[in-house]
Structure 1
Amino acid sequence: MPATVLLAPLLTSCDSTPRERQEVVSQSARRLDTLADRAADKIKVAGHRAARFDSASKARSRQPLDKAAESTFTNELLGTYATIEQLTPTTIEPAYVQFMQQVRAHRKQWTQRDWDYATAISRRLNAQFRAIRLDIKGRDELHIRALQTEFTALETGRDVKDLGQAVKQP
């Protein structure tokens, strides 16, 4: 490479005065400030929307679930295993399988309130699981734990998706 190509930027800056270079730097700084201000405004708006979503979510979760709707939901998700408190060490694993099959099938149409009902059912299943855990075969326990983890992942994924939509909408 010729030396003149490497020296061109240096020579160009030598053709300007310090005051001219100072003005170029000031203009660049103003552009950066404007971009930073716009980004900060977008973050502030997104933060407000996220806070509103969180507030609405907390208010919704404080509302008690309708017992009749919960019973209907339980029957829909668990079928013959709907009497959760009567599940035994041999029937709890098939109950979890049934529950997760139904969750997978219906989750895309569910509202946040539907997820509240599914979560309540999951908690009841988990309580029964803890009550009889010492009598459950190891293989079944591992499968149940995997299904519990899958439910939590699906529920969290829905929460993240809903939060993302809440932050994006005007």
Structure 2
Amino acid sequence: MKIPVLFAWLGAASLCTACDSTPRERQAVVDQEARKLDTLADKAAAKLRIAGRRAARFDSASRARSRQPLDPAAEMALTSELLGTYTAVEQLTPATIEPAFVQFMQQVRARRKAWTQRDWDYATAISRRLNAQFRAIRLDIRGRDELHIRALQTEFTALETSRDVKDLGQAVKQQP
């Protein structure tokens, strides 16, 4: 019996406290809290504007980089490094295309952490050539090999996208 009475008394005490202030005093407190919220919102908006500008600069630099033609000699050198004995991509057969993709992805996994965005541009060009050859001979490839190739293609796209996201995140976080 004593506990409910205590709760009732505490509830009444908090109502009395609210009754002890005037509407003008309560309005002053609300105005002060609203100013604090406005200040926080302004700071957050400024941070978002800065992040947006940095992201736009990153995107602009990325587009400018991708418009620059790839050096054929550098592309051939990287093709040789990434594909090893499967360098002649246009001559890959249904029997050799799956091992070529496996070789390519093994090298990409091993080297990706040290790559720049430009290195990824070259790797993407090589991937496109592999994919074009895959499309050309796809109907003659065994189903199991095709599924494995599709998984490797997806992995390459995921690795490349994660690098783009990582670089964008770093560009947004960097100091002006």
| Partner Cα separation in structure 2 for residue 7 and residue 49 of structure 1 | 55
Matches within 5 A, 1:116-155: 116-155=121-160
Identity in percent = 79
| Partner Cα separation in structure 2 for residue 11 and residue 65 of structure 1 | 77
Q: Which has the larger radius of gyration?
A: 2
Check if 1:63 corresponds to 2:63: no
Check if 1:29 corresponds to 2:29: no
Q: CA RMSD in A?
A: 0.7
1:92 matched to which residue of 2? 97
1:161 matched to which residue of 2? 166
Scaled by the length of structure 1, what TM-score is found?
A: 0.99
| Partner Cα separation in structure 2 for residue 7 and residue 32 of structure 1 | 30
Structure 1 outlier segments of 4+, above 6 Å: none
| Paired AA for residue 102 in structure 2 | V
| Paired AA for residue 16 in structure 1 | S
Scaled by the length of structure 2, what TM-score is found?
A: 0.95
Q: Where does the alignment leave 5 or more consecutive residues of structure 2 unmatched?
A: none
| Partner Cα separation in structure 2 for residue 163 and residue 108 of structure 1 | 15
Q: Where does the alignment leave 5 or more consecutive residues of structure 1 unmatched?
A: none
Which of 103, 109, 115 aligns to 2:114? It is 109
1:75 matched to which residue of 2? 80
Number of corresponding residues: 170
Give the deviation of 1:10 after TM superposition.
1.8
1:5 matched to which residue of 2? 10
